[in-house]
Amino acid sequence: GINPLNPAPAREWFARQAEKIQNPKKMKPPTTTQYRAGMASTNDSGLMTLSICSDIPYQRECCDMGDMGGEMESYYEVLDHTPGGMDYTRLSNGAALLFNHDRNIQIGTVSNPKIVDGRTYVDAKISSAPDVASYAQRMKEGILKDTSIGYEIMDDGEQMGEIDGVPVFKFKFRVHEAS
């Protein structure tokens, strides 16, 4: 399988597969907001640097294949981190940083998105409000360390190849929030 902490083998595999693909196929992605995992680290400036998403393949289930002839049980989703692949308007304007994607628990904001080696990094400002203090403390302690995004798929996807016989599709996407 793919090791999300070591994306190099996946990128090498995709580079080899890209050479083989002559007629990429399209698919209809899920229409609901999706969630993906990332990483976090703290610094001395009061801001946190969060890795909120990457181009590492993520296995999804149950998708309407549209013109490919019916339903498919499984596919790998790759979020497009190439120029123009991600709409980061909300991130640039200070998107919400939520606890577990709960809109009722905003613990801060994220901004200043950067894409480095297929991974999106943002600066996070954590609120100093009393109702956020326990979340902020757990983040400082490294107890709350994983990150994720809520996002929307923006196109029908393009097939990049397969992993163990399971198709891999790359999608353009829009980030709504980080968690």
> In this structure, what token pair is assigned to residue 16?
């080899």
Between CA 82 and CA 118 the distance in angstroms is 8
Q: Which residues pair with 149 in a beta bridge?
A: 36, 178
Residues 6+ apart with CB under 8 A from 56: 2, 4, 7, 10, 78, 118
Quote the mean pLDDT of the chain.
79
pLDDT tens by residue, the chain, 179 residues: 444 445 555 555 555 545 444 444 444 444 444 444 445 555 555 688 999 999 999 998 865 555 555 565 788 999 999 999 999 899 999 999 999 999 999 999 999 999 999 999 999 999 999 999 999 889 888 898 889 999 999 998 999 999 999 999 999 999 999 99
Q: What pTM was estimated for this model as a whole?
A: 0.71
What is the sign of the dihedral through the CA atoms of 24, 28, 33 and 35? negative
Q: How far from 95 is each of 38, 73, 88, 145, 163, CA to CA, in Å?
A: 16, 33, 9, 19, 34
> In this structure, what token pair is assigned to residue 160?
């990049």
Q: How far from 110 is each of 1, 88, 98, 106, 148, CA to CA, in Å?
A: 31, 11, 10, 11, 12
- Are 157 and 68 in contact by the 8 Å Cβ rule? The answer is no
Of residues 152, 172, 179, 178, the one with CA closest to residue 92: 178
Between CA 95 and CA 90 the distance in angstroms is 5
